[in-house]
Structure 1
Amino acid sequence: MDHSKISTNKAPKPVGSYPHARRVGNLLFLSGVGPRTAGSDASDSGVPGLQLDKNGNFLAFDFEAQCRSVFDNVRVILEESGSSWDNLVDVTVFLTNMKRDFHTYNRLYADYFKDNQPCRTTVEINSLPTPIAIELKCIATID
């Protein structure tokens, strides 16, 4: 059985020692995907819609920009792995502020998943390892 590890320069670098995705048979498991831009790493922000002061306090925050960027990053990893957006079967969403961000997330999710509607779980967590407000964990099929 194929257990390929997949990494790409077209997505943000992982913040630890793990691949962007791993193929097991005809399933593709994505590691947690955040909104940082490709080429950025944990040492720089690289987060769309986010500006921090020298102490790490928010100067600007745009959750919608982060949400769109997460979806774009997931799509890139899927395609680089030989899968596609339409092959997503399960999405777990981690939000750092459910009250503030869920409505925006749910609206954008409905736009991005009009045709393919994978199973979905959304949970609120205290924080993520970088200054982001959303992360997705996905499972897709691969031909």
Structure 2
Amino acid sequence: MVNEQSKFSTEKAPKPVGLYPHARKVNDLLFLSGVGPRQAGTLDIPGVTLNPDGSIKDYDIETQCRSVFNNVKTILEESGSSWMNLVDVTVFLTNMADDFKTYNKIYAEYFADNQPCRTTVEINCLPTPIAIELKCIATIDQ
């Protein structure tokens, strides 16, 4: 069996914060790198207010959820896949106690028609001042 691989990046999604592509195709699977809620082409983070030192002053988890889900959708489509092709989603939250209920409600809206496997974990922090990040696997048409 031939192992077909290719990398995908798009300017329609936030620029990665390190040396990695937005997604990588391996045969009929598409692996997305961690995706956050930043806006494409800027450093703006929807739903986040920062202190002068760059730390988080306040944030709106609903706004961040909608933004990160839209970023994932964009990367999937730009890579030749789709939202309906998602098969596995790992969600990283920085405040499970306060944010899970709202995140879970928004997740149910976006994933009503497609219910991939899901794991949600709380982590201490993310590399940018965000409260949520997704790591996804989808199928892709050959």
TM-score normalised according to structure 1 size:
0.94
Assess if the C-alpha contact under 8 Å between 2:37 and 2:133 holds in 1.
yes
Question: Residues 95-110 of structure 1: matches in 2 within 5 Å?
Answer: 95-110=93-108
Report the CA distance between 1:5 and its aligned residue: 0.4
CA distance in 2, matches of 1:33, 1:58: 19
Aligned to 1:7: 9
- Structure 1, 50-59 or 64-73: larger mean CA deviation: 50-59
1:26 paired residue number? 28
What residue number does 1:139 align with? 137
5+ residue gaps, structure 1, are none
Deviations along 1:110-141, one digit per CA (max 9) or x if unpaired, are 10011110000000000000000000000000
Structure 2 residue 46 is the aligned partner of structure 1 residue 48: yes
Report the CA distance between 1:10 and its aligned residue.
Answer: 0.2
Q: Tell me the SS of whatever aligns to 1:138.
A: strand
**CA RMSD, Structure 1 to Structure 2 (Å):** 0.9
Residue 49 (structure 1) shift:
1.0
For 1:129, what is the secondary structure of its paired residue?
A: coil
Report the AA paired with residue 133 of structure 2. Answer: E
- The equivalent position to 1:64 in structure 2, one of 58, 62, 65, is 62
3-state DSSP class of the match of 1:4?
Answer: strand
Distance 1:101 1:7 in 2: 30
Q: Which of structure 1's runs of 4+ aligned residues deviate more than 4 A?
A: none
Rounded to whole Å, the distance in 2 between the matches of 1:141 and 1:77 is 13
Identity fraction in percent? 73
Once residues 117 and 73 of structure 2 are traced to their aligned partners in structure 1, the CA distance between those partners, rounded to angstroms, is 17
- Give 1:56 deviation, angstroms: 2.3
Q: How many residues align?
A: 139
Partners of 2:126 and 2:139 lie apart in 1 by 27
